[in-house]
Structure 1
């Protein structure tokens, strides 16, 4: 082999290897892909599942052309880089197969094709390993249409947690702090400062996750985390919501309904920024949503889509911030599709978003021009009283392990916050 060919081969190998080790990020779906969600026991859920359990991935295609979509599952490490474990070791069966479970909408103004990908399925009989996974949906040309994270965990440790107010007087009214402990059920931790990692989530939002927190101290085989600053989250405010289960009538927080276009329009009441107001208990489902048509027997294909018109009065954010409408319904996306426009005549931010009917939680998210979210100066403020759901995931890798297992999961809710 000539020196030139050898050098070219080495460079190509290094390039492919580097690309394979790139950190996996979630790909925002195109406009025609809507209501992307993980479902378990009939409910939309945060994608954290016990190893061996069953769950589904679902989405709608507004083109309704019964397009062929394929799925690919990638096992990742703690930092969402693909592991070097052969696919046959973490999948019993195959991926890169066509999604065959789909059906077209019925009796809706907005037509769509609804796709379901259960796990396990006829191709992938089992996911064998715990850890981080990236699910990719591909088109016929094997181009990535969208991708979503999900996590599988094992029950080898007990996680106890409590939500406390900040010990820092500057943020005592605005932040919530997680105190937690990890007790192994059947594993003797080896060098836990290096081998044990945690992931802290607020309302299942991966964008605000806290990582790389080492145990503060250990008691036998128990790891204690009693930090203040390192495990703090901004409290935020309760999510807003609207309900259009009966798409032809004005329901909760829907001011009026129209049908000027080919589909229904739902005009919401104008929201005022709540950052400078006192905290008010506002029941929510922590960002989640429910697809529901009260006149349907199968909501997955009989629930219709509507143009939902959002309106926000937030004069303080007029100049230097962009405002987005976010929630689990769009995976907290900061894509242009959800960026609000400022109406100078009315003095409010406005945006129309196509959303599947039902019950939907949402919030207004302020970010700079580079997409960096300003959590401290949130549109609706930060309050320690806000009810938030927290999840603690425990990762562990011994010296002889090939990957980081997720060996435990804990939950805490700030409704029981203490000083």
Structure 2
């Protein structure tokens, strides 16, 4: 993977200053033959990978290896702080069991053009058991060699010790009332030994599980007894953005809503209808998955092994040329990476195009524009920005006890702008 793919781009895409920062751990895939990485709470496919400590809940990791055959993949988890820097702990301090394990469950593809091997593991299990709450990075590597990194995923383990209440309102900024969504929230830490609420507790808020949109709240607006209130007019104000685009390839026998043509020969080829620029004056209601994707095959019995791959062809009419900048196609399916794999190419007809090899299922995606002048990513210029957009927000509360060498994850709340 290119170095640019390892850049974690923190930016407020509604015109607020952006900057790039190299983080040690994020959601990344480091081998081109590894595809369709899923990581979710095992109760629900595509859900946010958060579980309660000691609850019996698990997360499921699944991925395909297109090189075929079977390989030796090992994995481990490492404790991190709220900003995803490694905690100053030894594995014995955050793991009850072994420090790493091998992925033993795998399945060979069946009746597919594209041959692959599907690997799967659930965590915690009898060999990998975290014993403290917090952020964990899951690392998968080959041949028991941690330097042969295959992929990384962010895992959130909550030891609930605070209560959180929140609501989503229109922006306090009059100029942004039609575009922005503001999140106000209160943390009640009753029973938690907090010496200085301004430094012991902080909260991270992100939109649609996208860390690059996240805002770290280091200090509350004010303190009311054991309640920390975060409602300053200038904080936690998010661009509403737009609903995601989508396509459906649960079957490759019939054209679905967004599919123009399906070709079958020695491989599957799917031509999607052209995508327009959606930065329009008014919001249009569309149902989406908030950026998620689901691996599904309605013509088979187990999509882990019988869902096929297809070369998906995308085209975009942006009214912009190579002299202006470059669009990228992103979603949870590619971890929102801006790299050569997600970059579109300009053709002689004045349109942008690309093709991606994707497994059957339902996918959300959007286009991000990077201007040649500013070099900054912007997902509003091609998609639009509306207060009415339905978004999910993940609120994570971290606590560092005085004298402790690590941060605990003590609270989590999932919000939806559609349920306010």
- Quick check: TM above 0.5? yes
Which consecutive residues of structure 2, in runs of 5 or more, have no partner in the other structure? 1-22
Shift of 1:195: 0.8
Once residues 172 and 318 of structure 1 are traced to their aligned partners in structure 2, the CA distance between those partners, rounded to angstroms, is 33
Q: Which residue of 2 aligns with 1:138?
A: 141
Alignment of 1:209 onto 2:214: yes
1:31 maps to which residue? 32
Greater CA drift, 361-370 or 73-82: 361-370
Q: Which residue of 1 aligns with 2:260?
A: 255
Larger Rg belongs to = 1
Q: Distance in 2 between matches of 1:248 and 1:348?
A: 28
- Encode CA deviations 1:93-117: one digit per residue, 9 max, x unaligned: 1233321111111111111111112
CA distance in structure 2 between the partners assigned to 1:161 and 1:288 by the alignment = 23
Which residue matches 2:48?
Answer: 46
- Say whether residues 1:238 and 2:243 are aligned partners: yes
Question: 1:276: Cα distance to partner?
Answer: 2.5
1:183 & 1:256 partners in 2: Cα distance?
Answer: 55
Is 2:198–2:218's contact at 8 Å kept on the other side of the alignment?
no
SS at 1:106's partner residue? coil
Alignment partners' CA distance in 2, 1:23 and 1:304: 34
2:325 corresponding residue in structure 1: 321
CA RMSD of aligned residues (A): 1.8
Kept in 2, the 8 Å contact 1:175–1:384? The answer is yes
Tell me the SS of whatever aligns to 2:397: strand
Which of 75, 80, 86 matches 1:82?
A: 86
Shift in Å, 1:188: 4.2
Is the Cα contact below 8 Å between 1:267 and 1:309 reproduced in 2?
yes
Return the alpha-carbon distance in structure 1 between the equivalents of residues 30 and 198 of structure 2.
Answer: 38
Q: Aligned equivalents of 2:268 and 2:39: distance in 1? A: 26
User: Among residues 400, 406, 409, which one is paired with 1:406 in the alignment?
Assistant: 409
Mapped to 2, the partners of 1:23 and 1:368 lie a distance apart of: 27
Gaps of at least 5 residues in structure 1 are 1-21
Is contact 1:161-1:411 (8 Å) kept?
Answer: no
Q: Within the alignment, does 1:391 sit opposite 2:394 as a pair?
A: yes
Per mean C-alpha deviation after superposition, the further-off stretch among 100-109 and 115-124 is 115-124
Task: Report how far residue 277 of structure 1 moved.
Answer: 4.1
TM-score where L is the length of structure 2: 0.89
Q: Contact 2:250/2:361 (CA < 8 Å) preserved in 1?
A: yes
2:194 is equivalent to residue 176 of structure 1: no
Name 2:103's counterpart in structure 1. 99
Find out whether 1:270 has 2:271 as its counterpart. no
Matches within 5 A, 1:66-77: 66-77=70-81
Tell me, in whole angstroms, the C-alpha distance in 2 between the residues paired with 1:367 and 1:283. Answer: 26
| Aligned partners of 2:295 and 2:362 also within 8 Å | yes
Bigger proportion of residues as helix: 1
CA contact (8 A) 2:64 2:117 kept: yes
1:378 equivalent to 2:378? Answer: no
Q: How many residues align?
A: 392
Residue 17 of structure 1 is matched in structure 2 by none
